[in-house]
Structures are given as structure tokens and as C-alpha cells.
Homo-oligomer: A and B are copies of this chain.
């Protein structure tokens, strides 16, 4: 039953995660978890099933396979790991990794790409300026494209969903207006746009000129990009962007710069 369901979901390209006990009281026990569906099978303890399935769905969303350690009843914080037998669970995700498309090969791009790679994203960097958009500057990116936003979003937009992110770091209306237009036409879960509050206000005028005026569209644009945590360096900004993506994806009320006022740098 578990294996036929697993095969069926893989064949239909739907995400699914298989958990197998590889060390502990029930070696070989399996549990199959899928987003928004009940789990199948058991690892031998209902509380362990609940906790491990929750964690496994997180791993699945990141498109990652891993080994997790629990107490016999799903303790993730055992008071003393030395005195408690550990259940080791192999968590096998069947899911393409989420994508992050970064428009703009700027100072912030490399730091964002590095942090996104830690989070398991397939990272695409895109800029029309071929001296900046090079694999040598962005060795950590999965792809570096020298082109404009339209062809990228036309070719790949249909594949973008809630797990995916577009980050527009260009600061250039010739580049970021079409990037925003193209991203709004997709179901991508996160659209972040870098720039000061003043830049964003000017950008909104340009968006109005090209007919982007609906509040449901404008509400999707996270600009200024990232959380209001006082980031200064590109790396700190990358952390604030990724923290915003995580929080928004799970519906947390996070302190986005886009939802606040006042200076970004204090």
C-alpha cells in the first residue's frame, strides 16, 4: 500500500516523502507523508509519527533527503540523549527543489545565492549585462543567464509555485518593471524587490503606467525587501530576505520592511 501510493505520486510528479526507521526499536518501519493528506503507515509510535511527519514535510518542501534523530515517542529535545535510545529516521524526499530566480547581478546577489543554497533552492541568477552575469562571480548559482526578465519568466513562469521565490535586486526600471510584470503573471510564492522606500514609491508610478494597479498584485510585492532586522552587509540582507520568505510561506506575521515605515538603516 505504501509503496504503490509512493510510486503513484512519483509517477504523477506530486511531492511525497518516505520515512524509514534505520536505527532504534522498529528498524524498517515506514511512514509515507504528503502535503495536505493523511500519512500512511507507522514508525511504531503515534506521537513519533506526528512529529516525524511534520518535520519530513518541512524537508520535502525544501526538496531535501536527510536523517533525523528522535526519542522513542518523537522527542526532539530529549532531556538526555545519552540515557535515551535514539530512533534514527531516514527521510527521503521526492520533490524537485524549490527555485529562486534572482534578477540583477549586484553586490547582494552572491550573498543571497549562498544563503539560498543552504536552504536547498535551485538558484538562477539573471542579468542582461554580460560583464556582471558570469559564472565566475556566482559559482554557487545553479545557472547564470545573460538575458532580460521576459524570456526567462515566459519560459519558466508556469513552473513557479508557492515554494518558489523571485528576488529582484536590479534597481533599474528597465529591468525590474518587466521582472515584476512577469512574476505577477505566475503563481510564485514570493516576490521581493530591493530598493529604498523612495525608489519603491517611484517604481509604483512606473507600474501604474504599465497598468499594474490592483492591490492584490501590489500586495504581493515585498519592497523594501526583507525583514526589518537592521541588516547592513549583503550577507545580513540575505538572511533578512530568507527569513521573510520562510515566515511568509508559513503565514507568520513577520516584521517585513514592506509592511512598516521608517528608515531601513538606523
Contacts and interface: CB of A to CB of B under 8 A. Distances in A.
Interface of A: 54-55, 57-59, 61-62, 64, 68-69, 76-82, 106-107, 111, 114-115, 118-120, 129, 171-174, 194-196, 199, 202, 227-233, 235-236, 238-240, 242-243, 246-247, 249-255, 265-266
B239 A82 contact: no
Q: Count chain B CB atoms within 10 A of each CB in A69, A78, A195, A229 and give the residue with the most.
A: A229
Contacts of A172: 79-82
Contact of A64 (B55, B107, B233): B233
Given A114-B118, A174-B80, A195-B77, A62 B230 contact: no
Determine which residue in A129, A194, A233, A253 has the highest number of CB atoms from chain B within 10 A of its CB, and name it.
A233
A243 B230 contact: no
Contact of A246 (B80, B239, B250, B254): B239
Q: How many copies does the complex hold?
A: 2
B196 A77 contact: yes
A232 B195 contact: no
Contact of A255 (B58, B107, B255): B255
Nearest to A172: B80
B229 A247 contact: yes
Contacts of A232: 54-55, 57-58, 61, 250
